[in-house]
């Protein structure tokens, strides 16, 4: 477990990603170039920007999505966060974050990258940075009980077709569509 194994796994995830459109293909190449120039780019200590790992958590039947009301962002978003030095892979980091933030044991993660996104943010370092977010699909049992962590203001299951007003609706809708295509 090291920054090198995280870095290697992030590259592998991006290299294996079958992008759905030209914009995502461009983003894939941009993230690969970032990793080529940033050997520690998977750790939050890399202040100019760093890879993060997120999970779209869906119920087994695909009808519910688990969202967190993020205290910094102030919106309902997918679960996820920073890779840690103890994480061996970005897939492992995404699953760890989903488990920690939901309290659900036995989550199942699809190891193939679902989506990627980049956004500016002031995160736990207290200075402006950029998150280069790798997003994975995670499945939970229907009606899995959840536990709100100290990283969240709230945590709830939402019907995929009835997201809250303060959800990052376009992002969640897009991720759900990608997940449905993958599960066919």
* Per-residue pLDDT at 120: 77
Share of the chain above pLDDT 70, in %: 98
pLDDT 10s digits, 121-165: 777 667 877 899 999 999 999 989 999 988 788 999 999 999 999
Angle at CA of residue 161, ends 160 and 162, nearest 5°? 95
**CA 96, CA 75: separation in Å to the nearest integer?**
22
Question: Which residue's structure tokens are 């920690």?
Answer: 100
Does residue 95 contact residue 84 with C-beta atoms inside 8 Å? no
Contact by Cβ (8 Å): 112, 106:
no
Which pLDDT does position 19 carry in this prediction? Answer: 96
Residue 31 has a pLDDT of 97
**pLDDT tens, residue by residue, 101-122:** 999 999 999 999 999 999 877 7
pLDDT at 2: 78
Q: Is pTM, for the whole model, over 0.85? A: yes
Is the separation of the CB atoms in 131 and 121 below 8 Å? Answer: yes
DSSP 53-102: EEEEEEETTSSEEEEEE-TTT-SEE-EEEE--TT-SSHHHHHHHHHHHHH
Average confidence (pLDDT) over 74-100: 95
Is residue 142 within 8 Å of residue 62, measured between CB atoms? no
Does the structure show a pLDDT above 60 at 1? no
| Strand partners of residue 155 | 68
Residues 66 and 159: their CA atoms lie apart, in Å, by 9
> Tokens 């978003």 map to which residue?
77
Q: What is the mean pLDDT of the chain?
A: 92
- Angle 95-23-136 (CA atoms, 0-180°, nearest 5)? 10
């Amino acid at each position: 477990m090291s920054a090198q194994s995280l870095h290697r796994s992030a590259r592998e995830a991006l290299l294996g990603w079958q992008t759905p459109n030209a914009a995502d293909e461009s983003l894939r190449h941009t993230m690969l170039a970032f990793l080529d120039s940033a050997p520690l780019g998977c750790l939050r200590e890399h202040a100019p920007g760093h890879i993060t790992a997120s999970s779209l958590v869906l119920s087994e039947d695909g009808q519910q999505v688990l969202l967190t009301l993020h205290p910094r962002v102030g919106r309902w978003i997918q679960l996820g966060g920073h890779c840690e030095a103890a994480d061996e892979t970005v897939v492992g980091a995404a699953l760890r974050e989903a488990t920690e933030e939901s309290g659900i044991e036995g989550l199942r993660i699809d190891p193939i990258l679902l989506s990627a996104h980049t956004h500016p943010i002031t995160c736990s370092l207290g200075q402006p940075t950029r998150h280069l977010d790798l997003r994975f699909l995670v499945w939970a049992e229907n009606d899995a009980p959840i536990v709100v962590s100290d990283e969240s203001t709230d945590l709830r299951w939402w019907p995929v077709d009835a997201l809250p007003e303060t959800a990052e609706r376009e992002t969640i809708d897009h991720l759900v569509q990608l997940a449905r295509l993958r599960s066919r």
